[in-house]
Structure 1
C-alpha cells in the first residue's frame, strides 16, 4: 500500500481458535493500529477517532467475533458502509478451521472457549459459535482456512493473501513458549531460558509479562540475562544470513521457560527488536502462552 492509496480498515473475524490473534499480531507487526474485541457498533466511531488523531493513522485492524452480541454482528454491513463514507477501504477477513482441529487446539492450550461460560460442552460451544458467525462468513471478502497451518504459515498467508507488507526473503519468527506445554513442533532453533533468574518470584512482576516495561527493565539490568541474550544474538547473527542465503521461506526461533510469560517472552521481543534494526521486514513475534 502506497502513501497515495486510500486508508484501509481490516476487520478480522471468524471462529475462536482459528488464528485471529495471530492475524492481528501480524498486522500490528506491519504497522497497523490494532484493537481486539471491539463492540461492533463502535466501528465507525473507532475509525473516526483514530484517523483524526495527531498521527493520522491510515492502516487499522479490528478483531470482532462471537464475543459481540449476535444482533450487532448482523449489522456489521451497515457499519462498514459508514466506514466507507469516512474515506476508508475495508476488508472483512474470516478465519475458519475444521471442528476436529479446533477441539484439538483447545485441548492442547487448555484455554476456555468464549461460550463455555454458558455451561456448554466444548463441541456444542463450537457448533453454536459457527451458527452465530455464519452471517459474517457469508459476507467476508476473504475466508482463510487455517486447519492445516502452523503459526508461521498463518502469518505468511495473512501477508500474502492480503497483499500487504509483502517482502522478498526469509521470514523469521521469534516465539516464546512454556516447557510444561511442550516445545513448538515447528521450531528450528530452541533456547532454554529456565536457567535465568525468574521474575515470577517477584510479587510485583508476577502478574505481568515479558512485554511489560517493568519486566523488561528488570531483566535489562540483570547481567546473567544480558550475557545469555548477547550470546544468542551473536549466534543468530551468524546463522540467520546463512539460512536466508539458502532461500528458505521462514525460520522459527523459540525461547522456552517454565511458564512462558516472563523470560521467554522478554527474550523473543528483545531478539526480534535487535534483528528488526538489521532487516526491518520479515521479523515477527508470537507468544504462545499469552495468545
Structure 2
C-alpha cells in the first residue's frame, strides 16, 4: 500500500487529503471516495478504513471537509451540509483524473453526517457505482428535534436569529462548542458519548477544535438526505446502523432503509453512534470492504 498527499479544487476551496493505492497488483483500481462526518478530521480513524480497503485491492481518496483540517475554505469551522455533499462530487471528478483509478468502478463511503451525504450522492451521481452509509444522518430536522429538549427549543431559535442579525451587520458568524462535557451547555453534538469520542480522538487528531459556527446547526436543520433514499437504486446500498444510536437515531435509519429499493443490505451492530470507529471497527470496516469488493471487484 502507498499513501500520498493530494489536493484538488472544489470550486472555491482546495480540499486536501490522502490517496491510498493498493500494492495487490497493477491498476487501475476500484476507488472509494470518503470524508468524515460534520467537523471531524480524516485523522480520526479514516486512515484505518482506507488501509483495510487497500488490503482488499481498493484505492481511496480520503480528504478533510472544506473549512476543516488541512482543507481550505473561507469560513473556518463551518459545516455546510450541501457544500460538503457537493464536494464528494468534486472528489469523484478528481478521482477520475488519476491514472490509478478505474473510473467505471468508483464507490463512496460516508459516516454520520457524511453518511447522509453519500445517500444523496448515490441518488444524484451515477458515476458512483456502490455506496456505504455508516450511522448516517437521515433527517437534520428530525434529528434536531430528538436532540434538543422542548424547553430549550426557543433559546436555540433565538441563537439562530441573533446570529443572523450579527451577520447582517457585517459581524463574523457566532460560534458554539462542537461537544460539551456539561449536558446543560448548548453544543452541536450533545451527549456524553460525543464528549468522550472527542477527547479520545484528540490522541490521533490533536489539532481538532471544539468549535463550529452557530450557522452550522441552523443549516443542519435544513438538511434531509433521507428524502433521496428511494432514488439510489439500482446502485447497491449498504447501511451500517447501531442499535443504540441517539445522535443519528436508529429508528430513523431503519425507517429510511425500509424505503430504499434493492439492491441493499443492512448491517446492525450493538452500540451507539461512535462505536464503529473503535469498539466495532472490525465489523464496520470488514462489512464495508466486503460490500465494495462484491460490487466493484467482480
TM-score range, shorter chain: 0.3 to 0.5
Tell me the TM-score normalised to structure 2 length: 0.34
TM superposition score normalised by structure 1? 0.35
Which structure shows the higher helix fraction?
1
Q: Which has the larger radius of gyration?
A: 1
Relative contact order higher in (CA < 8 Å, ≥ 6 apart): 1
